[in-house]
Structure 1
Amino acid sequence: MADVAIYTVISAPVSKDPVALLSEVASPVDLKPTLPESPSKQEVAHAPRDPHVLPSFSRRSQSPILYLPPLLSSLPAGVVAPNYPISSPAFSSPSAPRPLATDSRLPSIDNASLSLHRALHHFRPVTEEYATIPYTEAFNWDEFVLPEDDEREWYCVAFRSKRKDGSDGGPLYEADKKAHEEAVQNGGLILYWYGTPHPTTGLNLATCIWQSRAHAAAANSRPHHIRAMRLAAASYERYELERYRLRKVKGERHVRVELYDGGDVGW
């Protein structure tokens, strides 16, 4: 991922290493860069920072900062997400990510998915090794607190990848951007998250959470998604898809992440 300027949120981050999840996944949209102010000497040399942690700034900040928060699909017009106690672990940390939102809006969303959408505002990886460890251990699943009476399942797709050296990400990024908005407009996509290539292995991880497996499958046949799939085939040295079931059981407050074992998921 190339260095970028400090970002002011417009819609989503621009990446020179875009991730197309090939099947059942979409892509990022754009941010508008804001020029930084003059640097302090202390900021010239610093340890690499986690791009998934909310950065802090001072009036002297100048060093380029990459920030990759979760990208949530914008809610249908007139729909307001429920309030959540700020004492929830996912909300209480001052470094908790602040999500970006899509230009397009979902056509509809059910109440349980609305609660999940709210919880996913602070979706983040818990280790820098997220691209190599099990999906169930890579994110802060245990911090999400949902209404006790909710009962539902959602469909998750994870994409592990390694880009080919020298591959041109520009056309793929543009195709991904269009495929993502296409997926939101047609419904079902709740969240898209992507990481950065590991500095040693080059491995990366991206993931999407859908209201149902049917929504994810329907996205495969849409024109922008098909174009992104074709471009991605020439851009990656390796790519692997994994599928999971995200479950919320009535009477419990937290979610479970289980390997997808077939059948329908969600509705």
Structure 2
Amino acid sequence: MATTVASRPAIVPTLVDSNDEKAAAALVHALETEPTPSSSPVPTQTDSSRFITFSPYPDHLLDMETLDPQTQLLARALGVFDKTRDDYATAPYIESFNFSAVIDELRRLRAASPSASSWEKRDYFVVAFRSQIPPTTNYGDLSSLDKAAHREATDSGGLLRYWFHLPDADGRNLATCLWRSPADAHKAGHGAQHRKASSSVRSLYREWRIERYRLVIEDDVRDWEVIEWKD
């Protein structure tokens, strides 16, 4: 999107131009039917132990073999990631998502996995993209840009979770993605589809801004915190 991770969304979120049923239905239809060009083969259902769904795009799957065992556990735990309040688009980020449930799921997965090694403290990179979309924006254009950018990020590697929902009555929304590292986000952001999406941000959104956070998970998952990312 722009030239650095700090000044651009890692992925442009798919938004609609209103909160009505017609817009919502069109968004769902776009997610379910829009073809996604890609050089990577689409995994089959028999690959379910290796590939997991990690975004609203059911045909964009995360290849677990690209991750180390520790990060694989977190990626699976992030399957329960979701909002905790309806005003998440404008509320404080850390208070708007169920990170405590994610950590509980991570602990459960570790306990259930006989091969799980000890968990070493690690930081993960979290990006939040807050926006407001004007009624004049075509949500179909946003959907196409977002889906192509997400496929590119999936193929690039290191993206562990992507989440977005419908905008509120004022067109405000928040999309968020969780990365293995800032380097992974930076690499994905230099792809052609991300540059194309970035060049469209100012014309498609009334307002937008980026927030960056650090998900810190302590040794043996004894504790955790989400804090502002500072270089």
Taking structure 1 as the reference length, what is the TM-score of the superposition?
Answer: 0.61
Match of residue 219 from structure 1: 188
Match of residue 17 from structure 2: none
CA distance in 2, matches of 1:183, 1:202: 26
The 5 A counterparts of 1:82-101 are: 101=58
CA distance in 2, matches of 1:223, 1:99: 22
Match of residue 135 from structure 1: 93
**Greater RCO between the two (CA within 8 Å, min separation 6)?**
2
Give the AA of the match of 1:142: S
Candidates 110, 134, 138, aligned match of 2:68:
110
Q: Is 1:189–1:216's contact at 8 Å kept on the other side of the alignment?
A: yes
Q: Do the aligned partners of residues 258 and 79 (structure 1) sit closer, same or farther apart at CA in structure 2, a change above 3 Å counting?
A: farther
The 5 A counterparts of 1:61-210 are: 80=49, 101-106=58-63, 108-144=66-102, 145=104, 146-147=106-107, 149-150=118-119, 151-199=121-169, 201-210=170-179
Give the AA of the match of 2:216: R
Q: Is 2:126–2:215's contact at 8 Å kept on the other side of the alignment?
A: yes
Per the alignment, in what secondary structure is the counterpart of residue 240 of structure 1? strand
- Aligned-pair distance for 1:232? 2.2
Give the aligned length: 184
Q: Do the aligned partners of residues 128 and 207 (structure 1) sit closer, same or farther apart at CA in structure 2, a change above 3 Å counting?
A: same
Q: Do the aligned partners of residues 250 and 207 (structure 1) sit closer, same or farther apart at CA in structure 2, a change above 3 Å counting?
A: same
Q: Is 2:133–2:206's contact at 8 Å kept on the other side of the alignment?
A: yes
For residues 170-200 of structure 1, the C-alpha deviation after alignment (integer angstroms, 9 at most, x for no partner) is 233212211111111110111110122112x
Structure 1 stretches of 5 or more lacking a match?
1-20, 29-47, 49-63, 68-73, 82-97, 263-267
Flag the structure with higher helix content.
Answer: 2
CA distance in 2, matches of 1:238, 1:198: 14
Give the AA of the match of 2:209: E
Q: Is 1:164–1:236's contact at 8 Å kept on the other side of the alignment?
A: yes
Give the AA of the match of 2:73: S
For residues 246-267 of structure 1, the C-alpha deviation after alignment (integer angstroms, 9 at most, x for no partner) is 11101334532111011xxxxx
Q: Do the aligned partners of residues 141 and 132 (structure 1) sit closer, same or farther apart at CA in structure 2, a change above 3 Å counting?
A: same
Structure 2 stretches of 5 or more lacking a match?
1-6, 15-19, 29-41, 111-117
Per the alignment, in what secondary structure is the counterpart of residue 224 of structure 1? helix
Q: Give 1 or 2 for the bigger CA radius of gyration.
A: 1
Match of residue 33 from structure 2: none
- Aligned-pair distance for 1:235? 0.6
Q: Do the aligned partners of residues 238 and 258 (structure 1) sit closer, same or farther apart at CA in structure 2, a change above 3 Å counting?
A: same
- Aligned-pair distance for 1:130? 0.5
Per the alignment, in what secondary structure is the counterpart of residue 167 of structure 2? coil
Q: Is 2:132–2:207's contact at 8 Å kept on the other side of the alignment?
A: yes
Q: Do the aligned partners of residues 102 and 27 (structure 1) sit closer, same or farther apart at CA in structure 2, a change above 3 Å counting?
A: farther
Taking structure 2 as the reference length, what is the TM-score of the superposition?
Answer: 0.69
CA distance in 1, matches of 2:74, 2:208: 28
- Aligned-pair distance for 1:129? 0.8
- Aligned-pair distance for 1:165? 2.1
Q: Do the aligned partners of residues 155 and 163 (structure 1) sit closer, same or farther apart at CA in structure 2, a change above 3 Å counting?
A: same
- 1:236 matches 2:222: no
CA distance in 2, matches of 1:179, 1:99: 13
Identity %: 32
Q: Do the aligned partners of residues 113 and 99 (structure 1) sit closer, same or farther apart at CA in structure 2, a change above 3 Å counting?
A: farther
Q: Is 1:182–1:224's contact at 8 Å kept on the other side of the alignment?
A: yes
- Aligned-pair distance for 1:79? 8.4
Q: Do the aligned partners of residues 231 and 152 (structure 1) sit closer, same or farther apart at CA in structure 2, a change above 3 Å counting?
A: same
Give the AA of the match of 1:134: P
